[in-house]
Amino acid sequence: MVNKVCIDPRCRSAAFEITVTGNNPQPQDFTLRGGESQSVTLGPGSFVILDIGISRINE
């Protein structure tokens, strides 16, 4: 389970592109907002989760 946790309450409205690399992640790419979750199935071994903000946080 991948969870997007935001310390700053303003980031809850921002979208983040998530990419999972490792042993055949399913899904590999998806978008989350603060407080949202996504189940990911992985094979055994190491993995990396990268998140990139794709929308601006409202000031």
pLDDT of residue 26: 97
The three-point CA angle 39-47-21 to 5° equals 75
pLDDT in tens, 13-25: 788 899 999 999 9
pLDDT value for 35: 85
Give the model confidence (pLDDT) of 20-56 as tens digits: 999 999 999 999 988 899 999 999 999 999 988 776 5
Structure tokens at 47: 């993995």
> Backbone phi, then psi, for 58, in 5-degree steps?
-65, 125
Estimate to the nearest angstrom the gap between the alpha carbon of 44 and the chain centroid: 20
Rounded Cα distance between 52 and 34, Å, is 12
- Domain coordinates in residue numbering, the chain: 2-53
Q: Are 29 and 17 in contact (CB under 8 A)?
A: yes
- Tell me which residue has tokens 């997007």: 4
Query: In this predicted structure, what is the pLDDT of residue 14?
Result: 83
